[in-house]
Each structure stands twice: as C-alpha cells, then as structure tokens.
Chain A
Amino acid sequence: AQSVTQLGSHVSVSEGALVLLRCNYSSSVPPYLFWYVQYPNQGLQLLLKYTSAATLVKGINGFEAEFKKSETSFHLTKPSAHMSDAAEYFCAVSDTGNQFYFGTGTSLTVIP
C-alpha cells in the first residue's frame, strides 16, 4: 500500500512569509499525488494534483508543488502567506485501486 508522511502537524508563518508544507511518499510505482485543503468546518477541496506531466504543478490560490522523484517528495509552497490561507492541508497519493491514502495533515496558522 502507498503511504504519505507529512512532517510537522502544525506550521506557523507570518503574513507575507513563505509557506512550505512538507510531504514525502512511499511508492513502488509512479504515483499520482494531491494536495487538499480543509477550511474550518468544511470538507476537503483540491488544491493541486500531479499526474506525471510537469513536475512543477500550480494550483489554486497561488499554491504550487514540485514533484521530486529522487527525494520522493511533493512539498507545497506559496511565496507569500495570506490570512485566508489558515487551514489544514492534506497530502494524498492514489494507487492502482483508486484509493486515496491521506497524510495526517498539517495545520497552518498565519500570524498577522
């Protein structure tokens, strides 16, 4: 089975600072990788996905992620944090069975 590891269950950044949320995956085959965001009291929504096309993937709200096969990583970044980015972020990988394996999540706090 696939798995993902998100380093850091809580990340705090100042408004305007760089956001970096880490995700590493284990996979014996090329994976499909996703980042989802969950705002308080809401369901998850897709930020971006990697499906073996370009290794740098751009998503909504200024987020992007880079697939690095040599490091088995898919870290999420945003150059300048906004207060509205405060949320929980989940990295996920899908396998041949079309099941999504989610990481444990990273809660992002943006400090004014």
Chain B
Amino acid sequence: NAGVTQTPKFQVLKTGQSMTLQCAQDMNHNSMYWYRQDPGMGLRLIYYSASEGTTDKGEVPNGYNVSRLNKREFSLRLESAAPSQTSVYFCASTAEWAWDTEAFFGQGTRLTVV
C-alpha cells in the first residue's frame, strides 16, 4: 500500500512565487490534514478537511489555501511564498473524525523559500 503520497519531495522557491503541494491517500480515509514542521516547534496544523467537501483553518493558516479535490486528494497552495514559509510540510490522513484515530503521514515536502 502506498498510504499517503506527497509531491514534490523537495522544492526551492523564490520569494513571491506560488506553488501547490499535492497529497493523495489510498486508504479511503475521510479526514486529511496539512502540517508544517519547524525546528524546536514540533508539528503545527495549517488546515484540515474533516470530510470531502469541507475544509477548516488550523493553528497557522495565514499565507496558505487548501482544496479538497475529492476524497483522495488534498492540496496546499502557497500564493506568494515568503522565507518564513521555509519548512517541511506533512500531509496526514485519518480514517474518520474521531478522538482516538491514528494519523498516517506522508514522507514530507522540504520547501525552501529564498
């Protein structure tokens, strides 16, 4: 099983450029998430989609937009990249909207904004 697949794995952007990070899961999960991971700060939630057709802001949504394209795919868009958005981005999914649900993570996208 592929699980959660993220593309690209690495990306370098210039300040002001835009890009979309792609995420797809093949586990028929209902809920999907985007996190960013920064040194000393752990993982912080950017946006999430509890189910197909819904999206909500997380802890750090500024500068990002998301699209839940279908049940499998959840993309993250940076409209005008800033150096502060240099980070490692992880997509995750959970089977359902429940307290005790295990999250499955992709391998991450390492983004550098110069």
Interfacial residues, chain A to chain B (CB-CB below 8 A): 9, 32, 34, 36, 41-46, 49, 51, 90, 94-96, 98-100, 102-105
Contact = CB atoms under 8 A, between A and B. Distances in A.
Given A44-B105, A45-B105, A102 B94 contact: no
A104 B40 CA distance: 6
Contacts of B102: 34, 46, 49
Interface string B16-34: 0000000000000001010
11 contacts: A32-B100, A34-B102, A46-B102, A46-B103, A49-B100, A90-B42, A94-B100, A98-B98, A98-B101, A99-B58, A102-B43
A94 B99 contact: yes
A99 B90 contact: no
A103 B50 CA distance: 22
B113 interface: no
A43 B105 contact: yes
A42 B6 CA distance: 11
Interface of B: 4, 31, 33, 35, 40-45, 48, 50, 58, 90, 92, 94, 97-108
For A34, A42, A43, which residue has the most chain B Cβ atoms within 10 angstroms?
A43
Contacts of A102: 35, 42-44
A98 B31 contact: yes
A94 B103 CA distance: 11
A71 B100 CA distance: 21
Given A94-B99, A98-B101, A43 B107 contact: yes
Contact of B90 (A43, A98, A103): A43
Contacts of B44: 102
Nearest to A90: B42
A18 B47 CA distance: 38
Contacts of A42: 107-108
Given A46-B102, A49-B100, A104 B108 contact: no
B100 A90 contact: no
B41 A104 contact: yes
B100 A44 contact: no
